[in-house]
Amino acid sequence: DFFGVRNLDEAQVYFSTLPAVHHHRLVEKLVGMAVEGTDADVQLVTELLTQAASKDLCSIDALKDDFRPLIEILRDMTIDA
């Protein structure tokens, strides 16, 4: 479990072994867990996604596309609150 081990190098393997068409699922899962977790979890996921993009394991455009549905959910939540 990424959040238990907290090893960025090991977590980058997720992106390199997972077909790119499924990266959005990984990003959604990681971000969802970070949002429900601690500030340290948010920082950890931020670092992982930053490294994945900088090492071309996941494209910036793909990350933007992956975040779009989550942003809409967060907007809806703030409107409903």
Q: Which range of residues forms the domain containing residue 11? A: 2-80
pLDDT in tens, 6-61: 999 999 999 999 998 888 889 888 988 988 889 899 899 999 999 999 999 988 87
Cα separation of 17 and 71, whole Å?
Answer: 27
Cα separation of 21 and 76, whole Å?
Answer: 27
pTM for the predicted model, two decimal places: 0.79
Contact 31, 70 (CB under 8 A): yes
Beta-strand ranges (E) seen in 1-81 are none
Q: What are φ and ψ of residue 2, in 5° steps?
A: -55, -45
Q: How many structural domains does the chain have?
A: 1
By three-state DSSP, how is residue 19 classified?
A: coil
